Amino acid sequence: MQPFTMLVIEQIKAIPAGKVMTYGGIAAAAGSPRAARQVVRILHSMSGKYQLPWHRVVNAKGEIALMDDESRFMQQSLLKDEGVEFIRDGRIDLSVYGM
DNA sequence: GCCATGGCTAGTA
DNA sequence: GCCATGGCTAGTA
């Protein structure tokens, strides 16, 4: 496992319940601001193995990025259970979370 | 080659 | 809606 990958995994694991981070934000925190897509890949392929709170990651607009209906519903439910509030229809006001 | 991005245009209203 | 971007895992040889 490469250093950057490890940093990204740590960042994701460090997101507390009830908070969210963006793909780009995580990439930046791991020292590589333009590597948002790589964060996507890591979530996609290592969420299960490393027990990542994958549902706490959203895109830069505060939207759930998943394409699959079932998965996005799941993500929304998990976030709501943690107290994350959605504005009209599936968006999160990122300014509430300091972004 | 993959990927669940992001940011900036063109083009419509 | 388009396309430049980044870092590398999964899987074959």
- Residue-level pLDDT at A7: 95
Give the pLDDT band (50/70/90) at residue A43.
very high
> What's the CA–C1' distance between A56 and B9, in Å?
31
pLDDT at A22: 96
Average pLDDT for A66-81:
92
Cβ contact A59 with chain C strand, < 7 A: no
Distance CA A74, CA A13 (A): 19
List bases, strand C, within 7 Å of protein CB. 5-10
Structural domains of chain A ordered from first start = 3-97 (1.10.10.10)
